[in-house]
Amino acid sequence: MAVNQTIVFRVETFEPAKDFNPAKPYKTRLKWRDLMGAEQSKLLLTDPQAVIQDLLKIKVTTRPAVSTKARRPARGRNGSRRMEGFQS
């Protein structure tokens, strides 16, 4: 399964309606809006909780890593980085 992080997904429990009773035992409806703003959906055989866990896991593992830059040594009073001598 692939997930686009910019798209918000909604997970619903699927229950067949009077006028729509599919042959497969669908359990979940995944909904989202496409780039044109139209609502899209996909019926899934997976339980809703499993779909939610998979979506969250994929979004967390694909989140860009936070860069940690190395800190520069602190500067002295006059902006110098030289080591100050100390008296014993």
Q: How many domains does the chain have?
A: 1
The residue segments making up the domain with residue 46 are 27-63
Domain membership flag for residue 68: no
Query: What pLDDT was estimated at residue 6?
Result: 75
Domain membership flag for residue 2: no
Domain membership flag for residue 3: no
Domain membership flag for residue 82: no
Interior CA angle at 15 toward 14 and 19, to 5°? 120
Domain membership flag for residue 13: no
Inter-CA distances, 52 with 4, 11, 36, 43, 57, Å: 14, 7, 25, 14, 8
| pLDDT tens digits, one per residue of 62-72 | 555 555 566 66
| This prediction's pTM | 0.58
Domain membership flag for residue 80: no
Domain membership flag for residue 21: no
Query: What pLDDT was estimated at residue 54?
Result: 83
Helices within the chain (DSSP H only): 48-61
Domain membership flag for residue 70: no
- Residue pair 1/54 in contact (Cβ under 8 Å)? The answer is yes
